[in-house]
Structure 1
Amino acid sequence: MPRVVSLFLPNWSTDRLRRKLGDVSPPPDRPLVTVGRHGNRRLVTATDRAAFEAGLRVGMPATKAQALVQGLVAMEAEPDADAEALERLALWAVRRYAPIVAVDPPDGLIMDTTGADHLHGGERLMLTDMVERLGQVGFSARAAIADSWGAAYAVARYARQTVSVVAVSTSHDAIIALPIAALRLPDAIIGGLRVLGFDRVGELLRQPRAPLTLRFGPELGRRLDQAAGSLAEPIEPVRPAEMVEVKRAFGEPIGAAETIARYVGKLVHSLCAELETKGLGARRLDLLLCRVDNRVEAIRVGTALPVRDVKRLTRLLCDKIETVDPGFGIELMRLSAPLAEPLTPRQSISSLIEQRDADISDLIDILGNRVGEERLYRFTPVASDVPERSFRRVAPASAETGDAWPDHWPRPARLFAVPERIEAIALLPDHPPASFTWRGIRRRVKRADGPERVFGEWWKRDAELAAVRDYFQVEDEAGERFWIYRAGDGEDAATGSHRWFLHGIFG
C-alpha cells in the first residue's frame, strides 16, 4: 500500500519574504500581506498568520485590507520567486526524506514515502521532523500522511493537528468530516455544490454519482475517488540536475525477485563507476521501479559513511526487494544517489606493518536500514560535571572529538534518565546512608565511598547558582553497588532539598 505525505506551507509567500529580508523584516506580530495585480485591480495574494487573524483574506482588494488593519505591511507579490524557492525545497526533501517528491503549487509538496519512513524512526517522527526543521528556519508547516495524494492533501490543510497520520486503508473515514474545499475542486464547482446544500465530503460520498457527474462533469467524481484512495494519482518527481543517476529500460516487463536483484547489481555497478569518476561515495540510494500501470515503487537505503562498494550497496538494496509489488511488471528501473559525498581512495599498505581500525560501518548500514537510522546512536562525552549532561547522542559513525570522560571517579554502567527518589537514613552532613529504601525494598549499606560533590551550572540557570549534589558509591549486603546522591550539602537549605536519590547502578 503506497504512503503519501502532503506538506502544507500555509504562509509560504510571507514566510519566504520575512526570511529574505532578514533583520529588516517586519516584526512577527505585525500583519504582512503580499499584493498582486489581477487585471486592473490590486488584490491580496497571500497573508501571514497575524493578517489572517485580523480578518484579511486572499482575493481581498488591497485598499480594503489597508483600511481594515492599521499598520498593515503590504509588499509586492513575487510568484516566480515563490515557485523557484518551492522547487529548491522539493530538492532538499528528495535528499533528506523520500525518493519521490513533487511540487504541489502554490504552497506545498507531495511525497511518496513508501519504504523510506523507517530511516527516520517511523511516519509520525518523520512528519514531526519535517515540521520542526522548517519551523526552525522560519516557515510554518503542517504535514499529513495517508494512502493517497488526495487524502493527505485534505487532511494536511483541514485537520486540526499539525501532524496527522492516517492509518492504512482508512482514508475514506479520515475525509468524510472535512469540508468540500479539501477536494481540490475549482471554485465554480465548490460554489455550485454549496448552493445545493453540500458542505462536507461525506455528504458527497453518500450521493449517487450519476446526477453529480451530469451536473458538474467528471472532475468531481475523479477527485472523490482520488481522495478516498480508490483511484491512483501518479507523482512526477523532481530530480536534481547534478544528481548521479543510471537507468535501465526493459523490452519485456520483469517481475520476479531474482530478476530484479540481478538488474539491481548491474545498475549499482554502473552507478559506482559514475561516482568514481567524480570522486564521490553514496550516502543515500534511491531505486525507482516504474510499473506498466504507471505506478512507481521505490526503495531507499542509506549509509553511515560515503560508499561505492558494489557488493555492499547491492546487498542493502536487495534486502528491500521483498517490499516491492511489481504488479503486472516493471518496465523501467532508475538508480540514483541523491546524497553523495567526497570519497578519497586509501592507499594499500603491506599487511605486515599496517594497523587497521575495525570497520563496522557495514553492520551499521545493515541495522540502520532495517530498524531506522534514528534508532542507532552512540554516546560521546560533553564537558559537564552534571552526570546527565556529560554525554550526548551522536550518529554511530560520526568522527571522534577527542574528548573523554573523567576517570578520577568511577561512573555506573547504567545511568537512569531520571533519578529515582529513595528514603535514606544517614548522619549529616558528610556521612553515607546506613540504609536506604528503593522501590519498596530496604537495603542495608555494607560499604560506601564518598562524598563526591557536584556543583550546579550557574551559567545555564539561575536556580543552580547555589545547588550542589553529594554523590556516594554504596554496596549493600547482597553485593549490589549503587550510585546515590543527596540534593544539597546537608547544612544549607538553599543548596538543595536534602532528599536522597538513586542515579545509577554499577555492574
Structure 2
Amino acid sequence: GGAAPPVVARAGNVTRIAPPGQTYGALSPLPIAALRLEPEVAAQLGRLGLRRVGDLLGQPRAGLARRFGRGLVMRMDQAMGSAPEPVSPARSPEHFAVRMTLPDPIGLVEDVMAAVDRLLPRLCKTLKDKGKGARRVMLQAYRSDHAVEAVEVGLARPSHDPQRIRPLLEMKVDEIDAGFGIDMLRLVAVQVEPVHDAMAVGHLQAGAAVQARLNNANALDDLIGRLGARVGLDAIRRIQPADSNIPEKSQKVLAAAWSKPHEGPWPKPSNPRPLLLWHPEPVHAPATPRLPKTFRWRGRDLVRQRALGPERIAPEWWLDDPNWRSGTRDYWVTDTEDGQRLWLFYAHGGAMSPGWFCHGSFA
C-alpha cells in the first residue's frame, strides 16, 4: 500500500521511474492511454484534441472531474504520486481442462464424439462450479505418432451448457487428421468469462415472457456460434444505432459475438433519412444555396417536382474528417418528375469549393 514512487508510468512495455522533481516532464509526452483510462473516456479526450498527459495536466481539475468523472482526476493523481495506489499480487489464473487416455487408438468421427460426450460434461461442471462460462474451447487430439491435432470453436456468449458447446465441436471434428490413430483427447476452455444464470421471477406471465426472451437470445447466440465455426466469429457483424447527427455515423458496425443486441426500437431521426446512403456524388447545378429546378446527376437531366428542407448539418469541428472538408451542408428531400426521391445537399465550402451533391435515395 501507500503512494507510488515519484512517478511510475507505463507506456507499452516500457517502465520509467522519474527522478524526484521531474515527474511533470516525464509524464507530459506520454499518451493519455498511459493513465489506464476507460476506453470511452480516452476516446472523448482524443476527440477534443487532448492526446498527451501534458494536455490534461494544464486543464482545470474541477472542469475535468465535472465532465469526465472523478476517475480521470484520480488516475492523474496516482500517476503524479499524490494519491496511493496499492498493489496486490496477481492471483494464479484458473485452468479449465479435462483429458481422457484411450485404451486403443481411435480414428472415426463417431468415436471422437463419443469421447467428447464424456469429457464435455466434466469440463462444464468445473466451469459451472466456478461461476464461469467458456467463450473458446479447444479439442486436442494426441496421435500415436506423437503428433497433435487441434480444433477450436468460439461461442457468442460464455456458457457452461454442454448442449450449446457440443454442436460446435461436432462441426469441427472432421478437420482432425487422426493419422494412425488417436490415443488421448484433451478438452480445454482456453477463454472463460463470468456467467450468471438468469432466472425468471415474479408473476407466471412475466416469468414466461422473460423465459421466451432468454430462449430467443440463446437461439441467436447458437446461430452466431454455428456460423462462426465456419467463417470465424469476427466475420459476423451487427448494426447498432449511434449517437451522431452526421449521416454516415448514425450507425456503427460491431462484431456480433462481442456485443449485445440493441434493446427496444431504433431512435427515430428528427428529419427523414434515406433508405440507401452512398458516398456523396457530384450534382451538376449552379453553385448557389438555392435548390435548382433542373440538375444533372449520373449522366441524366432531372427536373425537381417537390422538395422538403433545408436541414442544416454542420461537421464535427473537433475532427478533421476528409469527407466533411466541404463544410456545412444543407440537405433537401427532393422528388423528381421521373419518380425518384433523392437526398441532395448543398455544401457551403470549407477546405473545398461549394456545390451540390446527392447523398442517398428514399426509394
Name the structure 2 match of 1:345.
Answer: 197
Code of the aligned partner of 1:315:
P
Helix, strand or coil for the counterpart of 1:425?
A: coil
Q: Is the 8 A contact 2:326 2:353 kept in 1?
A: no
Q: Name the CA shift for 1:297/1:388 in 2 (closer, same or farther; >3 Å).
A: same
Q: Name the CA shift for 1:400/1:430 in 2 (closer, same or farther; >3 Å).
A: farther
Name the structure 2 match of 1:60.
Answer: none
Q: How far, CA to CA, are the matches of 1:376 and 1:18 in structure 2? A: 30
Code of the aligned partner of 2:310:
P
Name the structure 1 match of 2:357.
Answer: 501
* Structure 2 residues without counterparts, runs of 5 or longer: 1-9, 20-91
Q: How far, CA to CA, are the matches of 2:155 and 2:321 in structure 1? A: 43
Helix, strand or coil for the counterpart of 2:13?
A: helix
- For residues 282-293 of structure 1, the aligned pairs below 5 Å read 282-293=134-145
Q: Name the CA shift for 1:307/1:433 in 2 (closer, same or farther; >3 Å).
A: farther
Name the structure 2 match of 1:435.
Answer: 295
Q: Is the 8 A contact 1:286 1:298 kept in 2?
A: yes
Name the structure 2 match of 1:278.
Answer: 130
1:364 aligns with 2:217: no
Q: How far, CA to CA, are the matches of 1:386 and 1:336 in structure 2? A: 45
TM-score (norm 1): 0.48
Q: How far, CA to CA, are the matches of 1:346 and 1:377 in structure 2? A: 25
Name the structure 2 match of 1:317.
Answer: 169
Q: How far, CA to CA, are the matches of 1:253 and 1:485 in structure 2? A: 71
1:21 aligns with 2:15: yes
Name the structure 2 match of 1:335.
Answer: 187
Name the structure 2 match of 1:446.
Answer: 305
Q: Is the 8 A contact 1:264 1:318 kept in 2?
A: no
Code of the aligned partner of 2:354:
H
Code of the aligned partner of 1:412:
P
Q: How far, CA to CA, are the matches of 1:331 and 1:342 in structure 2? A: 33
* Structure 1 residues without counterparts, runs of 5 or longer: 1-15, 26-239
Offset from partner CA, 1:255-295 (integer Å, 9 cap, x none): 11111122222222111111111111111111111111121
Q: Is the 8 A contact 1:275 1:281 kept in 2?
A: yes
Q: For this pair of structures, how many residues does the alignment match? A: 271
* Aligned-pair Cα RMSD in Å: 3.1
1:256 aligns with 2:108: yes
Q: How far, CA to CA, are the matches of 2:204 and 2:227 in structure 1? A: 29
Name the structure 2 match of 1:374.
Answer: 234
Q: Is the 8 A contact 1:287 1:298 kept in 2?
A: yes
Name the structure 2 match of 1:460.
Answer: 319
* % same residue: 34
Mean Cα displacement is larger for which, 496-505 or 332-341?
A: 496-505
Name the structure 2 match of 1:132.
Answer: none
Name the structure 1 match of 2:334.
Answer: 474
Name the structure 2 match of 1:412.
Answer: 274
Q: How far, CA to CA, are the matches of 2:290 and 2:111 in structure 1? A: 73
Code of the aligned partner of 1:476:
T
Code of the aligned partner of 1:19:
N
1:392 aligns with 2:248: no
Q: How far, CA to CA, are the matches of 1:253 and 1:494 in structure 2? A: 73
TM-score (norm 2): 0.66
Helix, strand or coil for the counterpart of 1:319?
A: helix
Q: Is the 8 A contact 1:432 1:450 kept in 2?
A: no
Code of the aligned partner of 1:318:
E
Q: Name the CA shift for 1:494/1:340 in 2 (closer, same or farther; >3 Å).
A: closer
Helix, strand or coil for the counterpart of 1:316?
A: helix
- For residues 183-202 of structure 1, the aligned pairs below 5 Å read none
Q: How far, CA to CA, are the matches of 2:226 and 2:126 in structure 1? A: 24
Q: Is the 8 A contact 1:456 1:466 kept in 2?
A: no
Q: How far, CA to CA, are the matches of 2:358 and 2:117 in structure 1? A: 54
Q: Is the 8 A contact 2:326 2:347 kept in 1?
A: no
